[in-house]
Amino acid sequence: MYSEKVMDHFTNPRNVGEIADPDGVGTVGNPVCGDLMTVYIKVKDKKLEDVKFKTFGCGAAIATSSMITELAKGRTIEEAQEITRGDVAESLGGLPPLKMHCSNLAADALHAAIKDYLKKKEAKE
Amino acid sequence: MDHAAGMPVDPRVFETMKPYFMENYGNPSSSHSLGANSKNALLEAREKVARLIGIKNHKDVIFTSGGTESNNLAIKGVAYRNKHKGNHIITTNIEHMSVLNICKHLQKQGFEITHAPVNKEGIVNVQRIKDAITDKTILISVMYANGEIGTIQPIKEIGRIASENKILFHVDAVAAAGKVSINVREENIDLLSMSSNDMYGPKGVGVLYIKKGTRIQPVVQGGGQERGLRSGTENTPGIIGMGKAAEIAKEEMEAEGKRLIQLRNKLVKGVLDKIERSYLNGHPTRRLPNNANLRFSYIEGESLILGLDMLGIQVSSGSACTSKTLEPSHVLLATGLAHEEAHGSLVFTMGKQNSEEDMNYVLEVLPGVVKRLRAMSPLTPKEMLR
């Protein structure tokens, strides 16, 4: 059902965990639907120095979370904001049609984390 | 360990079927000897199925294409035949989709359906069935056992209520037949659905037992096979396979059941001991011998399935993420579990090929899979990860 890439990211997820002192945190989904993702970011010189995740959900939810951290790490804020759900699915070699809607939330979680970071930054300035 | 989803054909069943593809290919309706061969074999199969459910009269056994068709024939057959008497049907909210969707279909045609609730162990509230009966009630349909949580229903008690009120009683025994002893006469069952591939027989064959004198309207019209109740040339090899499967089940059910209960109990006890915040769904003892439905907090079922599959263990789940509807199991929700609890459930259904070694292997690797997923989950309390 899943591509090799998805299985690889499910089996060996990259950047699992929390960032102790994050600059931004974004959570999307809810456990009632079966998917809940939290993305943590650390920003340095307008770039995403570190990206980590925690996810409750199916194989696709875990794999997309892992993939988004790889896609986003080292990018500028602007670049990261442009990463779409489609980019995540494509980088994973595709997702089953049903999972495109329900479990492909990682890009949203990343964008929510960036929004959180920008809001906090604005408040400080 | 996903025998509820699919079972291999018993080699003895396959051997019995083999001659009926190329040598004894006669149509049971033909008058010549080739046809007579098939006709006799069908009769024998019918008798074997009859014995499995505690009756002698083989004429009460109607072969269909499987459990779903048997449920359709039973429920629609009773409903259409008796609509002049009433339009009310009582069932439960943990039935198989084939029963629930037939009822939904009938509802659109003006029938009224009452879904009796179950308790947290999955046992239907018999009083609620009793209270729901009106003078318009024509059918009560309750499953013998639930394939997902394994709970066995108080069929005899419901059968008595149905018979006292002169209401027909249909039992979907697809998950139970061949696994636990069924006696349609003692349990006051008027119609009983069974499926061949849930008892190591071939796919595409099922049975509807119809008690003598019970009138139903056929769903499939045609050449009048199966006493006019299920037209269409008989699936001779399949039916013979189901007959053999029923015969084997009758002989071996008791010993195999005991063996499976031991394996199941070992698995359940081991999991509950080894993994904190794990729970057994369903009833601790009133359940199918081969069924263990286990729930793990903070993680989701499909990722558990994938994790176990990579280690060579095949199981299924009550999670939405494994279903086409994106809804978690209606059975688990009916027992009062929250959505997120239903998502974290795994169903183990053991079979003939499973041994104690398999249970040991599951107990060896499952805690690690659960631990790994919990470490990833934002729902896991921090103190559990230390």
Return the percentage of chain A with pLDDT > 70, whole number: 98
Is it the case that residue B254 has pLDDT exceeding 70?
yes
Q: Which residues of A touch B319 (CB under 8 A)?
A: 34, 58
Instruction: Give residue-wise pLDDT tens across range B100-123.
Output: 999 999 999 999 999 999 999 999
Contact (CB<8Å) B320/A33: yes
> Hey, which CATH number is domain B11-249, 3.40.50.720, 3.40.30.10, 3.40.640.10, 3.30.565.10?
3.40.640.10
Region A61-75: mean pLDDT is 94
Q: Which ipTM score applies to this complex?
A: 0.90
**How many folded domains does chain A comprise?**
1
Region A52-72: mean pLDDT is 93
Contact (CB<8Å) B300/A102: no
Region B175-204: mean pLDDT is 96
Instruction: Give residue-wise pLDDT tens across range B315-350.
Output: 988 665 556 666 788 999 999 999 888 889 999 999
Region A55-77: mean pLDDT is 93
Q: Are A71 and A114 in contact (CB under 8 A)?
A: no
pLDDT, mean over chain B: 93
The whole domain housing A25 covers 4-124
Shortest Cα distance, chain A CAs vs residue B281, angstroms: 18
Region B177-182: mean pLDDT is 96
Confidence tier at B33 by pLDDT (50, 70, 90):
confident
Return the percentage of chain B with pLDDT > 70, whole number: 97
Q: Which residues of A touch B322 (CB under 8 A)?
A: 58
Shortest Cα distance, chain B CAs vs residue A49, angstroms: 21
Contact (CB<8Å) B300/A103: no
Best-predicted range by mean pLDDT among A105-109, A120-124, B370-374?
B370-374
Confidence tier at B25 by pLDDT (50, 70, 90):
confident
Shortest Cα distance, chain B CAs vs residue A57, angstroms: 5
Chains A, B: CB contacts within 8 A come to: 76
Q: How far is CA A113 from the centre of its chain?
A: 9
Choose the closest CB to B300 out of A13, A34, A54. A34
Region B66-78: mean pLDDT is 97
State how far the Cα of B69 lies from the Cα of A66, in Å rounded to an integer: 45
Q: Which residues of B touch A36 (CB under 8 A)?
A: 377-379
How many other CB atoms are there within 10 angstroms of residue B120's CB atom?
12
Domain ranges for chain B, please list them.
11-249, 253-381
pLDDT, mean over chain A: 91
Q: Is B208 left (phi over 0), alpha (psi -120 to 50) or beta?
A: beta
pTM for the structure as a whole = 0.91
Confidence tier at B248 by pLDDT (50, 70, 90):
very high
Contact (CB<8Å) A98/B338: no
Q: Are B139 and B167 in contact (CB under 8 A)?
A: yes
> CATH fold of B253-381, please?
Aspartate Aminotransferase, domain 1 (3.90.1150)
Is it the case that residue B20 has pLDDT exceeding 80?
yes
- State residue B317's pLDDT score: 81
Choose the closest CB to A34 out of B306, B343, B378. B343
A56 touches B at CB < 8 Å: yes
Region B250-273: mean pLDDT is 97
Shortest Cα distance, chain A CAs vs residue B105, angstroms: 26
Region B227-254: mean pLDDT is 95
Is it the case that residue B273 has pLDDT exceeding 90?
yes
Q: What positions of B carry a catalytic annotation?
A: 321
* Between residues A34 and B315, the one the model is more confident about: B315
Best-predicted range by mean pLDDT among B221-235, B246-260, B324-338?
B246-260
Region B248-270: mean pLDDT is 97
Region B244-260: mean pLDDT is 97
Find, among B152, B159, B214, the residue nearest to B188 by Cα: B159
Confidence tier at B3 by pLDDT (50, 70, 90):
confident
State how far the Cα of B311 lies from the Cα of B244, in Å rounded to an integer: 34
Contact (CB<8Å) A59/B306: yes
- State residue B1's pLDDT score: 86
Q: What DSSP string describes B303-355? A: HHHHHHHTTT---EES-GGGSSSS---HHHHHTT--HHHHHTEEEEE--TT--
Report the CATH number that the domain containing residue A120 is assigned in CATH: 3.90.1010.10
Is it the case that residue A8 has pLDDT exceeding 70?
yes
Q: Which residues of A touch B340 (CB under 8 A)?
A: 31-32, 34
- State residue B318's pLDDT score: 67
Is it the case that residue B368 has pLDDT exceeding 70?
yes
Find, among B183, B359, B361, the residue nearest to B261 by Cα: B359
